[in-house]
Amino acid sequence: MSVESNNLAKFGSVDLSNNTLRSINTKPDSEESALPVIAAELAYTFANSRTQIFIGNQLEDYIRFDFSTLAGVRQEIGKAGILGASFLYTPLTTEVWADPFLTGIPRTKTDRSANGYRLIWDRMYGTGLELRYSYRDVDIDDERSGVSLGLDNQERALLNRNGDVHRFTVQYTFTWDSPRHRLVPSFSVIDHQSDGDAMAYDAYSLGANYIYSINRWRLVTNVYLSELSFDEVHPVYDRKIDSSQLGASFTAFYASPFGWKNWLANGTVAWFDDDSDVDFYDASVSLFSVGLLYRF
């Protein structure tokens, strides 16, 4: 995995950026690392009531590189579809820099959590329509953005990264030559309500997930495009840090490798780029992974 970021410090056991920053006016350097990931889901369905309880990582999230752990319930409600509610929790510790602008000496890491919940309404009235809403509470243990720059309290308040994230998604599943082809276009609206107005933004994103299945192979392609519009001018750079995000991934699953029943071998290549109007906030990720999944 290759990561370029001036703000993310660590994910799990993997360092994502340099401790010491040379300048606040340059793009981030690239860091190479390996990231071990364990994904699993346990579910139990009550046949009479068509109620399912579950905990773990859903396959659909795994192939989109969302490693949140979910615990919740899904309920089939006849022709109206399936309703679901779940708690979202990220088990791998994410660390950011307490003051990302500190230069010349090692920066201090601090924990960042983004826990919340997700609500879904799937297969609405027998169609492929699905509505999703998710909420996350972003909490940074030691928020010190701008302290090293001598900003006053009002300017520092604009940089506060704590806050709430609301995401609304509508998507539709198309299938043909079933089960060979599956296409899921999606549209999302994100309201990132950071406590600091210079870090708060509204975003619109378009995505598509295409799955091609043939024999023991399942080939999954994802593409993603998003535009972020920030609320206020950044006090350090005297401009808004609006950005455009692009991403794509391809994953190949192979069922029963070496004759192992219920196992899926998988390999993934992925790329993500965040192009900000301010170089300091540029970020990118490129990733290659191989692994095994077991389905009960």
Q: Which domains does the chain have, with CATH numbers?
A: 2-27+76-294 (2.40.128)
- Report phi then psi at 241, rounded to 5: -100, 45
d(CA 109, CA 226): 28
How many of the other CB atoms lie within 10 Å of CB of 243? 21
47 pLDDT above the threshold of 90: no
Please name the amino acid found at residue 51: T
Q: What is the pLDDT of residue 38?
A: 60
DSSP string, 7-19: SEEEETTEE-S-S
CA dist., res. 249 & res. 187, Å (int): 18
pLDDT of residue 57: 67
Q: 183-197: per-residue pLDDT in tens? A: 999 999 999 999 999
Contact assessment for residue 118 and residue 90, using Cβ atoms and an 8 Å cutoff: no
| Range in 50-59, 97-106, 198-207, 233-242 with the lowest mean pLDDT | 50-59
The pLDDT of residue 296 is 66
% of the chain residues with pLDDT over 90? 67
Q: How confident is the model at residue 92 (pLDDT cuts 50, 70, 90)?
A: confident
Tokens found for residue 85: 């509610």
49-86 in b/e form (b: 16+ CB < 10 A) is eeebebeebbbebbbbbebbbbebebebeeeebbebeb
